[in-house]
Amino acid sequence: MKVAVIGTGYVGSVTGACLAEMGNTVICVDNNADKVAQFSQGKVPLHEKGLDELVERNLDNKNLRFTTDLNDALRNSDIIFIAVGTPPNEDGSADLSHVVTVAQSIGQLMDHPLIVVDKSTVPIGTAEMVSNTIAEELKKRGADIKFDVVSNPEFLAQGTAVKDFMEPSRIVVGADDPKVLETMQELYSPFMRREGRFYAMDPKTAETVKYASNCFLAAKISVNNELANICARVGADFDDVRRAMGADPRIGEPFMYASPGFGGSCFPKDVRALIKIANDNGYEAKMFMQTLETNNEQKHILSDMVITNLGPDLTGKTFAIWGLAFKAGTDDMRESSAVDIVNDLIGKGATIKAHDPEAMGMATQPEYFGNNPSISYFDSKYEALNGVDGLLVVTEWKEFRSVDFDEMKKRMKDAVIFDGRLLYNPKKMKELGFDYKSIGRNV
């Protein structure tokens, strides 16, 4: 099939590359010429496992190309994916200005029937709005060209987005025309090795599925963190609690972890957006409001632990931070707990030695730490430990799981670990001579 993808963020670029991998002819469009040039040279300007290889391979076999020319993409495609950003407004609603601009451009430029697919995470009712916008532009031209607007939310987790697209847990498509649903099912058929993964519904229901899924998962994380905090106070071990709970099929093992809170570009934004949507429709989503409140408090759990154990004045003390990204497998620091933790510690007078496999370049951007002299960065996790008064494990990178504890003790001034991911065994840490503190445990 002939496909265009408008927007080359991680959703758009992954969508385009994966569709090209299955033999479709794909044109990815972006108004950022530098970004298009990088992609066209096979240089992926974002960190997403496996994406580099897909882009390079499909550029070589001519299934994939990148351009700034939207008109060219529309002329040479039959299915158009809208995958532009929908950042949050101050009131929590999604900013649809980029979506509207793209819809207007489609209406102004299209010259043959198209299926337009909303891939961006958008509020309920956006498919209808996009359809009305395109129709209005066609009317201005006096053009009568058939088109359909489809809602097809993405369920891609950063760090595993390529795998998630190639091996989807479900494909949700909302459309009013059965023939359009058949076309979308045909497009996705190479990705559905198992039956029953294609869910056809109306557009508003499909739009709701995305928000419902992310809000449910965010709430599950906050429930786990509440339980972990209770465990720490009553002397229970949340790691054992979550394993036993997860064995119940009604609860399930995935996402049964304690952490310093969720972050990233999806969960916080989508919870706020659904709260706003509920309010606009006369309903107060109290549980999701509590989910955000619990999460905001949880982001300070590790820094509070440091202050409780070492006192409120941390002047002259240095701490190592392992992990800056909001999760492993990405360089994304949007709403990362590490930002709150580092700022809390610096605010109490501490200096920071940080290591992250991917996010250190991102950390120096002005919206995060910029050129803050209280933070230094190290390519080696062990080098970051030299002379520190303690280590805080913030992100669950695999390289932090199996470590040389003797090397750590040799480098650290004080062998104190504040574990935000329950990576280490408390008994073993005590035997090795570490002063070990962990969320979800009274140790």
Catalytic residue list: 266
Q: Judge residue 158's burial from the number of C-beta atoms within 10 Å of its C-beta, 0-12 exposed, 13-18 middle, 19 or more buried.
A: buried
Cα distances (angstroms) measured from residue 430 to each of 300, 309, 425, 426: 25, 17, 9, 6
The pairing of beta strand 2-6 with beta strand 25-29: parallel
Calculate the dihedral angle through the C-alpha atoms of 6, 11, 17, 21, rounding to the nearest 10 degrees. -120
Inter-residue contact 224 to 251 (CB < 8 Å): no
Helix axes 126-141, 97-109, angle to 10 degrees: 40
Inter-residue contact 29 to 6 (CB < 8 Å): yes
User: Quick check: helix, strand or coil at residue 82?
Assistant: strand
CA atoms of 77 and 115, how far apart (whole Å): 9
191: DSSP letter = G
CA atoms of 125 and 309, how far apart (whole Å): 50
174: DSSP letter = E
Give the full edge-to-edge strand order of the sheet including 416-419: 375-377, 351-355, 318-322, 390-393, 416-419, 435-438
Inter-residue contact 160 to 134 (CB < 8 Å): no
37: Cβ contacts below 8 Å, ≥ 6 apart: none
